[in-house]
Amino acid sequence: MLTPKQTLLNSWKFFAIEHCADFMPDYAIQKSMAVVAQNCLEANTRSMPPEPFFEEVQQDRVDFAQALCQGLVQVNARGAEAFALLEAVYKALRNRHTTYEDALISNDTDYYRSLLNVLFLALQFHLDKPSRSSPETLSKPAKLSNDLTLIVEIVKVIVAQGFKSLTTYLHEEPEKCTPKDFAIIVAILQSCLQVKNSERLHEHITYHIQDNDVARHATTLFSWADQLAVAGDPIYGELSLSILVKLSTLPMLAEYLAVEAVLMRLSTCRLSNGLRQPKGLGPFDPIPRLYTIWSGGFLPLCLNLLYNVIRTAPEVAAFLNQFEGQLNRASECFSIGHPTASAGASSQWISLSMASEAYSLALITFMLDRFREAGPSAGLDAQSIQELKWNKAQVKEDIEELLSRRSTLRGRIVATTEKEAEWSRQKPLDQASGAENRLEEKVLGELSAAVACLGGEEES
């Protein structure tokens, strides 16, 4: 049974998250909520008596600050007060523990995780988006991400050192870590890379990522992921690749990953061997995480390396060709008369991830073909770039036929996540797309882009 204090706190959380949209266009209200959240965080930096009650008070303050920040992010709040939350929450983090390792040693990860959630939310007010580009406030001029050194510090302490500590403890004391710990670090890294004017920080960010051997720790985590599976789900394999994918979006960090021979290291791991099955693995197989590792990890990583480090073209082609079963499955999955239809209804289903996979492979094929044609002018030996073992002609033909038979395509599309299920209930953003819902619209966009890369006409 909840105590009166917990009941009151939960009521305020519900109010902040669920009902703020009614009045949040009022910037004065946004300011007040941001100030209250900041006061909660600053109060937690002050010395407290050692009794457990006061630790509960600190946790309640952080929970309330998180609820307020969620409401502010939900309505795209802006202003100096919202911007100030980032410094406030980072000070609260550093006041409690100077590093993530300190929190792990002190068995204080619950409170630390809560602060990391608030840190992620506070970063959203600094992202390079139209709604953030001209912050407004009724009280004083806002400063646009003026303290970029704080972003560097967050990448160094929270992301680089934190990821290093988590991977170490996951191997030695796994009970102290959860997949959510890694997921929030990846989300914080992604937000830091999207902060306005963050391009000025790339050299510093790269230094701290390299200095803490993040690539090596990520590939090591991937090599353990099959042993650390949660109820048979190798979720740490996806999380380790996720941070590598985010790093590879920056040219300097992509270069770092290339120097670290990240693809070669990944290719020798047991999870990679699992993806070398003759028939390949798809999103509807018993362990869908393996397909996610392929479509959401290997493919975008290879694409980013090709885009940012041209000389990796031979390595990328050779790496992907190790997974001939995956490439064959991807070549056949859009066929109207699917050759494996007798295996079950799932062989006829099409997910958004499958459409994204087709687009990624089409784009990778396009780039490899162009690099092969350029040869020495691109600084490459054309003969060293293997042809991708993916039947692009068949894929192009199958997708074009599906796009011309919308009712058939619509009947094959299926949601595989809660977010996709939500999209399937939403109206499309572009009514002219001919899609009946947002999920179908997204699938159409990916498939049309794939056809365009393969030399066909993009559907309108």
Provide the residue ranges of all domains of the chain, joining segments of one domain with +: 1-146, 147-179+191-272, 275-417+428-454
**pLDDT over threshold 90, residue 251:** yes
412 closest CA partner among 345, 358, 356: 345
What mean pLDDT comes out for the span 77-89? 91
**pLDDT over threshold 70, residue 366:** yes
% the chain with pLDDT above 90: 73
- Amino acid 132: pLDDT: 41
423 closest CA partner among 406, 444, 453, 400: 444
Q: Is 367 helix (H, G, I), strand (E, B) or coil?
A: helix
What DSSP state is assigned to residue 229? -
Cα-Cα-Cα-Cα dihedral sign, residues 135, 140, 141, 143 = negative
What mean pLDDT comes out for the span 448-454? 95
**pLDDT over threshold 70, residue 204:** yes
Residue 142 — pLDDT band, cuts 50, 70, 90?
very low
- Amino acid 345: pLDDT: 46
Burial 131-156 (b: 16+ CB within 10 A, else e): ebeebebeeeebebbeebebbbebbb
- Amino acid 76: pLDDT: 87
Query: Per mean pLDDT, which range of 22-31, 32-41, 188-197, 439-448 is the poorest?
Result: 22-31
Q: Is 138 helix (H, G, I), strand (E, B) or coil?
A: coil
Top-confidence residue, 126 or 139: 126
Sole residue written with tokens 């049974």: 1
Tokens of residue 21, six digits? 């949209």
Q: Which residues contact 336 (CB under 8 A, 6 or more apart)?
A: 398, 401, 402, 405, 408
Q: In this predicted model, what pLDDT tens digit does every residue of 102-114 receive, in sequence order?
A: 999 998 899 999 9
Q: Which residue spans within 274-428 are E strands per DSSP?
A: none
- Amino acid 431: pLDDT: 85
CATH number for the segment(s) 147-179+191-272: 1.25.10.70
- Amino acid 293: pLDDT: 97
What distance in Å separates the CA atoms of residue 452 and residue 147, rounded to the nearest whole number? 42
**pLDDT over threshold 60, residue 339:** no
What mean pLDDT comes out for the span 78-89? 92
Residue 52 — pLDDT band, cuts 50, 70, 90?
low
What distance in Å separates the CA atoms of residue 10 and residue 14, rounded to the nearest whole number? 6
The reported pTM is 0.88
- Amino acid 128: pLDDT: 76
Q: In this predicted model, what pLDDT tens digit does every residue of 261-270 receive, in sequence order?
A: 999 999 999 9
**pLDDT over threshold 80, residue 168:** yes
**pLDDT over threshold 60, residue 23:** no
Residue 30 — pLDDT band, cuts 50, 70, 90?
confident
Top-confidence residue, 445 or 4: 445
What mean pLDDT comes out for the span 331-351? 68
Residue 130: count other Cβ atoms within 10 Å of its Cβ. Answer: 7
Residue 456 — pLDDT band, cuts 50, 70, 90?
low
What mean pLDDT comes out for the span 29-45? 92
Sole residue written with tokens 């690539």: 215
